[in-house]
A and B are shown apart, each in its own frame.
Chain A
Amino acid sequence: MIIPCPFCGPRDLAEFTYHGDAARAAARPAHGSTDQEAWDRHVYDRRNPAGSHAEIWQHAGGCRSHLRVVRDTRTHEITETTLYAPEVSQ
């Protein structure tokens, strides 16, 4: 797989590390929240969709930026890559 890093350009999969569903990261309960159920859901539950998936990758073997990558989990086709900005994923 080749991921087009918005800063570095297209780079090999091997340079990236995965951080999962971007929507999940965006929905993390506020720091200090004591809503146990919200935390349970956040830490353990996954949507795991078959199809378009907005996810977070870190270009750990390159510029170390976190990226938001929209990828189809059935075909691995990448349709969108941006530097991660929390608003976008909300």
Chain B
Amino acid sequence: MSGTCSSEGAVTASRLEMTDISKRFGGLRAVDRVTISLRGGEVLALCGANGAGKSTLVRILAGVEHADSGQIALDGVPVVIDRPETAAHHGLSFVHQELNLVPKFTGLQNMAMGADRQSRLGLVATKRLRRLASEVQERLGYRIPLDVPVDRLSVSDRWMVSLGRCLMRSAKFVVLDEPTASFTDDEAEKLYKVIKELTDSGVGVLYISHRLEEVLEISDRVTVLRNGSVAGSYETAELTVSSLTKAIVGHEVEALAHRRGDASTGAPIRLSVRDLRRPPNVVGASFDLRRGEIVGVAGLVGSGRTELARLLIGADQAAGGEIILDGKPYAPRGPHDAIRAGVVLVPEERRSQALLLSESIERNLAVASHGSARHLMCRFRPRRSHRAAVDIVDELGIKTDGVTRPVLSLSGGNQQKVVVGNYLRTRPSVLVLDEPTVGVDVGSREEIYGIITGLAGAGASILVISSDFDELAVCDRVLVMRHGAIVAEVPSHRATKGHLTRLCFEAEQPAA
């Protein structure tokens, strides 16, 4: 996409500049004298490793965080953005990195929140809001469920609501902080279309993503942050995936290689799932998982992958079918049983499902090991726990200045590593990861997959659920789930993005 609207001649195109912005958290310089500028009608991508300071910069722009120094100017006029409403007032609209919805509100209520200040008598202008919302739906080409409380929606539908909210406001600049992290390609495509429309109508887009192909596809320019400061700014045209990766990480990173699944083909079966069901989301799942094997699960949003994973650890109770673990029937009554049997799930939404946000990293790294303790009266040894936490932080390369810091202060990718570390401490034999690399940068993703393959090498069996089909290259086999059933199994070398996507959609009998 080229910035047709941002030609020099366009006098009306507005301009957003952030100059010399700095922000410190305690001793840490999250953002250090960063300067970026964005014009109406163009897409500026912001790239950088986890913790590089992208979201902090965005939050400063949104009035959520206050910069220690620096200036923000709109069309050359300095503005003070001290509160989120001020940002909205200046025509800035955001999708923040974390889901921020009111669970009991419907999609429409969530989209309307804070958007309707202008209504008369303080009354809610329901009709107008609904009209606006359906316009947004049309633009997205996606039916966002408007009248269902969002806590009944799937995670990706929730993201659609979040995106819808951002688009409901007529904005001059739109900031999207990893909007596609939870999307499959299909939904991402819809978003790209919307971004195109936006830029065509003169809106400037600040776009943050760890999906580098996507960045190259949709942006006009790229600014790379490293350790809080600008490491370089580029015209997108002059970049490739590998040069961008190098700019972000500072050194070369190899692309994920397809695994040769021969290592584990002869290994004994560890987990055998037979016709597992819990209608309506899971209506018949059968598969085997061998020792030392990494198996991927591909599927569209709502195909029931998360439900399947929850059944495996007993977080929900199956309505039928059976599971055999190491030759013995396995029917966990809850995650406790599962963990004790060596089966763990790394859940898909880390903030609501996996972290004690306001607690320390150390404590977050100990929860699962408490959960797997035999007796509640077992002794807890804080020093030992501290040492274990320090070890995990080192091992997984979690970027922090101490394990006693609250996990809240970590960047998204590092939080994800804490989640993985928490579960790894129980030394699981079966590890189920639901979207393990959501919001994780290329370098860290590499590391997380390195950890996963390492575990598999040590004999653990791993099930990886991912909507990023490129990632599934690391798997020995990929299962495809559709409408609650496993409909296909694809060996590693054939698990290309295109093939998997086709299988996800195909209604006919696939070649198993």
- A joins B in a complex: no
Interface residues of A (CB under 8 A from B): none
Which residues of chain B have a CB within 8 Å of any CB of chain A? none
